[in-house]
Amino acid sequence: MCRSVLRPMNLPARLVTIRCEIQNRSSVSKVMQNNIKPNWQDFYEMCKPRVVLLMLLCTLAGMFLATDDMVPLATISFCLLGVALVSGSAAALNHLVDASVDAKMARTHNRPVAQGRVSNFQGGVFVAITLALGMAILMVFINSLTAWLNLAAWAGYGIFYSVYLKRATSQNIVIGGLFGAAPPLFGWTAVTNSIDGGGLLLVLIIFVWTPPHFWALAIDRIEEYKLVEYPMLPVTHGEAYTRLQILLYTIVLVLITLLPYIIGMSNLLYLAAAVALGAGFIYWAIVMYIGKNARAPLETFRYSIVYLAGLFGALLVDHYLMPLSYV
């Protein structure tokens, strides 16, 4: 039974319901966790595999777009493996840092560290090993520039964002989005060993995509963010303001995604895909802005994932079916 029988005056009923559900689940897990030992699935979950998979797709796009020739299989394999390990390490570090907060949120309370299936020591060892392996692979088999860029992104997300930025400002997603936007540049530098305009443009696309993607989720989970006192934009500035920002960012994003065609980096196939996918994103942003569809925030969040995967997939297909001499 939840101990919060009487609702505190400063908490809405929905927050009390969420708190009660988490307390009930946590009381059961605390009884069981002493008998539970971590398995490979717990460590795999700590790496946020679905997020890393999307990052790898963007890394792959960066590699292929950096050259008119086919990228050697060894370069593809070692680059993706190294990026996956470093990114997984950063995600696991985020699990460790956010464990106490994760335990209070319905979306994250079942995470391995939050539930006690993985201890802080075990998680710390896992973070160190995966980071070391990823850096070694990138240093030895790719190049030092790609390795150092990965380390910078690891520190930016795993330490600066997770420890400080996430709790410091409502612009946490905007500023921290730079670290999550780096994967295409990893792929680009793996092939060219240099930072060029094409790679930075791909980073810019993901950087502008990040705020509407996460703000949509924040609106859907606003009661949970209020509960843990995270200064997400819907919490600090209200839902109406956030919905407007999502619409504006989405419009800017769609315009930016036209740049690869404008500068001669891609051809008509990509342009058609960018316009069609962008129209879908703007549609959901408008539905969210109107505010009459209760499922719009979650549907916008889900569509944004499909949008980014489709956009970078179109870049790849266009690059090899309708090649241009950009690089």
Q: Are residues 60 and 134 in the same domain?
A: yes
Q: Are residues 132 and 209 in the same domain?
A: no
Of 56, 107, 61, the residue nearest 82 (C-alpha) = 56
Residue 112 has pLDDT above 50, yes or no: yes
Range of the domain at 92: 36-193
Residues 63-79 pLDDT 10s = 999 998 889 999 999 99
Give the number of domains in the chain. 3
Q: Are residues 78 and 186 in the same domain?
A: yes
Q: Looking at 193, 209, 238, which one is the last position of a domain?
A: 193
What pTM value is reported for the model?
0.85
Q: Are residues 232 and 187 in the same domain?
A: no
Average pLDDT over residues 294-298: 94
Confidence bin at 10 (pLDDT 50/70/90): low
Of 209, 184, 207, 208, the residue nearest 197 (C-alpha) = 184
| Residue-level pLDDT at 118 | 93
CB-based contacts of 275: which residues, under 8 Å, 6+ apart? 254, 258
Q: From CA 110, how far away is CA 48, in angstroms rounded? A: 13
Residue 37 has pLDDT above 90, yes or no: no
Residue 20 has pLDDT above 90, yes or no: no
Of 216, 21, 19, 42, the residue nearest 116 (C-alpha) = 42
Q: Are residues 88 and 160 in the same domain?
A: yes
Residue 235 has pLDDT above 90, yes or no: yes
Q: Are residues 111 and 203 in the same domain?
A: no
Q: Are residues 157 and 207 in the same domain?
A: no
| Residue-level pLDDT at 7 | 46
Q: Are residues 119 and 249 in the same domain?
A: no
